[in-house]
Amino acid sequence: METKNYGLIVDPVQPEDFVLGASQSLATKYGAELLNPSGDWSRFTPSTEDQSTRNGDTYACVSFGTTNAVEMLARARAFNDGLNLSDRFLAKMSGTIVGQGNSPKTVADALRHGWSVNEPEWPDEETVEAFYTEIPNNLKTLAVARGAEYEFGYQYISNNTATIREALRSSPVCIAVTAWVEKDGVYVRGPFAENHWTTVMKVLENGNFLCFDSFFPFVKEVSPDACKSVAMSYYLNRQVVSNSWFAKFIKQVLAIFKQPADTPVKPHETAQDEPKPTEPTVSTPPPATSRLDAFCAAIKAHEGWFPGSRSFRNNNPGNCRYSSVGYLDIYKPVLKDAQGFAVFKDYATGWLYLQNLIREKIKAHPQWTLLQFFNNYAPAGDNNDPTAYANAVAKAVGLTSADLISKILSA
């Protein structure tokens, strides 16, 4: 059986480390707290993010698993700021090595001391090489400033089911597992050592763990026998009761690096000197026709939709560029990734945007052929082949590239 290390390094527990139930623990430092008495964190899950890139694995499972746990804690605290930390930033700052990975303690310590910026500020990249490019100093400073707002800690816990079940009442639990051997829909222990770090959301009635993972499928049922090594829980809270001094500090840091100091124009907001988007003709878009659905699905496939792809990560099946004109409220918030593509809040919104974009193009240019449409949608100047694109999509919907685009709405 072929085995692979997905990025886990196991460090031995040291005398100074916090351990659940020991004299040094999160409870002794921060006080015992049952933040989520049900032990079910599935309603606090953040957006799914894949640790793999187009050309390989980042070996950053520990960073992805740790940030997933922290983001769940933030949602349980109802911070209401949609905390979405950059896994890429944490992987680089913690010293993650391609081909080896990192240890849970090293990554948690890096987060505790240096924190992270938000995902849109240092988003995932399409290649391993780009993923690990050097981070600008202004982002490092910004991360430290953001981290000053939080109290964050971690502790080792026993890897038995009873302890994990109890620990889940206070925090999501990250565990080391053997990845991946699947049997009847459950991931079980493989004949090799633990090689991956994932986040437990709850203990199921059958005793298995429901995990939120950094590989597709992102929700997995894992047998406890797959985890006989390291397990860890976390603590997160704001330590700023009155944050006026903190807000001032952030403004000073941003000013130093020439970033907006007051209320910045977010990527999905319309700047004052830009034209505002037109209001939709109807508040709820009409149901898609079967041919429109097929047309959109063919575009999605041609754009290279697969787990880990840019369009997949961005919830953007049409791989649409970010529009500086702005977006209607039904789509917001919409962010922009490092390559200038739109990032939608969920897949349904990205799909709706693609459908409505096509409707609007057809309404504005009913005499366009499919080829003319794709000359506009995927111009050759962006390294596309509009002719091949038009032929492929036309074939998928039973048309030719010479047919009028208006036929998409006629069936």
pLDDT in tens, 314-339: 999 999 999 887 788 888 899 999 88
Give the pLDDT score at 229: 94
Task: Evaluate whether 120 touches 207 at the Cβ level (below 8 Å).
Answer: no
CATH topology of domain 26-238: Cathepsin B; Chain A (3.90.70)
Give the pLDDT score at 80: 60
Task: Evaluate whether 214 touches 65 at the Cβ level (below 8 Å).
Answer: yes
**Domain limits, the chain:** 26-238, 290-409
DSSP state of 279: P
Give the pLDDT score at 383: 83
Residues of the chain where predicted confidence (pLDDT) is lower than 70: 1-3, 80-81, 240-290, 411
Distance CA 84, CA 200 (A): 18
Q: Helices (DSSP H) in 243-346: which residue ranges?
A: 244-256, 290-302, 310-313
Give the pLDDT score at 375: 92
Give the pLDDT score at 265: 34
Give the pLDDT score at 254: 56
Q: Which is it for strands 231-238 and 150-156: parallel, antiparallel or unpaired?
A: antiparallel
CA distances from 310 to 219, 304, 328, 338, 341 (A): 20, 9, 23, 11, 9
Task: Evaluate whether 196 touches 8 at the Cβ level (below 8 Å).
Answer: yes
pTM over 0.75: no
Give the pLDDT score at 39: 97
Distance CA 319, CA 350 (A): 9
